[in-house]
Amino acid sequence: MKKVLVITYSQSGQTDEIIENIISGFDEKIELYIEKLKPIPEFPFPWNGMSFYDAMPESVEMIPSDMQPLSVDISIDFDLIILGYPIWFLSPPIPLTTFLKSKEAVKLLSGKPVITVIGARNMWVMAQEDIKIMIKEAGGELKGNIALTDRNYNLISVVTIVHWLMTGKKDNYLGIFPKPGISDNDISNADRFGQVISDAVLKDEYENLQEKLLALKAVELSQNIVSTEQKGKRIFTIWARFILKKGGVGDKARVFRLKMFKWYLLFIIFAASPIASLIFYITWPLFFVRIRRKMKYYSGVKLKVKQE
């Protein structure tokens, strides 16, 4: 009997639903263990006011929080570890960082193949770079990645996701906007990845797994979004360090800087990013080869620590 451990963090259940559909196609010779990460204190869902922005510095700087002990027996010799998570501020969500930086992660991941499953809005590649590093540091070997995203136009998806995250309602905002998040269709079609992963587990053969997953459209990147995200991550890092100088989570001394970040974020999303997109498309022919190379890299599972 092969043993697969699935570790997830999902607030609304969206990422969990994707995972459930993927593993529904696994062979019955595979024994599944499910572990849901539980941070202490729990992050609110729906989010309220500043709590949302207060999660930014620790997400970006990858500072662990407290967490309930895992329920799984970490001495079990798993054949594969699957990690399922959303993205927070272009970074790994704090509960996943907390797990990946723990000694339990080292015990579970050491020498083991790992597959990541992301349920994001549309900007996940920079977080995945952080996650690649943390998996490597825990001794794991990333062999596959599936990233599902909201297919709506970028600015529309910002409006709908804010509605969802702040109200907890995954419905049509004002009756006119599309449903937030990953479409029901994309979530239910995630079952197509199950067979490929299941075969890899049974044969213990992961070398071409990502190519097989890519053939099933496990990753679909927009060059413009990736370019925006790269710039955004650099700026978020500066903001995170600036805010952290005033204290840790919940510290009143950092509220003013968090508010500054909130207004900056709104400006950058709705005013600066459309202009940046325009510049991207105008200059696109000049950087065509470099952009194509980057897209190939971000679609894969290899880690190149220094990215231009």
Ligand X SMILES: Cc1cc2nc3c(=O)[nH]c(=O)nc-3n(C[C@H](O)[C@H](O)[C@H](O)COP(=O)(O)O)c2cc1C
Which spans of this chain sit near ligand X (rule: CB under 6 A)? 10-12, 14-15, 52, 55, 86-90, 119-124, 161, 165, 181
Residue 53, CB half-sphere, CA atoms under 13 Å: how many? 20
For residues 76 and 40, the answer to whether their CB atoms sit within 8 Å is no
Q: Which is nearer to ligand X, 86 or 144 (CB)?
A: 86
Q: How far is the CB of 73 from ligand X (least distance, A)?
A: 26
Q: Which is nearer to ligand X, 205 or 251 (CB)?
A: 251
Q: Which is nearer to ligand X, 47 or 206 (CB)?
A: 47
Q: Which is nearer to ligand X, 11 or 98 (CB)?
A: 11
Helix locations, the chain, DSSP H: 14-23, 49-54, 56-60, 94-100, 103-109, 125-137, 154-167, 184-188, 194-203, 209-215, 223-244, 255-267, 273-299
Q: How far is the CB of 247 from ligand X (least distance, A)?
A: 19
Q: Which is nearer to ligand X, 164 or 206 (CB)?
A: 164
Token code pair at residue 51: 């709590």
Cross-strand pairs, 31: 3
Judged by DSSP in three states, 119 sits in strand
* Exposure string for 170-179, b = 16+ CB within 10 A, e = fewer: beebeeeebe
Q: How far is the CB of 196 from ligand X (least distance, A)?
A: 22
Q: How far is the CB of 289 from ligand X (least distance, A)?
A: 27
Q: Which is nearer to ligand X, 87 or 109 (CB)?
A: 87
For residues 166 and 113, the answer to whether their CB atoms sit within 8 Å is no
Q: How far is the CB of 37 from ligand X (least distance, A)?
A: 11
CA distance 6 to 182: 21
Q: Which is nearer to ligand X, 52 or 280 (CB)?
A: 52
Residue of minimal Cβ distance to ligand X = 12
Q: How far is the CB of 36 from ligand X (least distance, A)?
A: 11
Question: Peptide bond preceding 92: is omega within 30 degrees of 0, i.e. cis?
Answer: no
CA distance 84 to 119: 8
For residues 209 and 300, the answer to whether their CB atoms sit within 8 Å is no
Q: Which is nearer to ligand X, 26 or 52 (CB)?
A: 52
Distances (CA, A) of 140 to 93, 136, 221, 305: 19, 5, 25, 16
Q: How far is the CB of 219 from ligand X (least distance, A)?
A: 13
Q: How far is the CB of 48 from ligand X (least distance, A)?
A: 12
Judged by DSSP in three states, 6 sits in strand
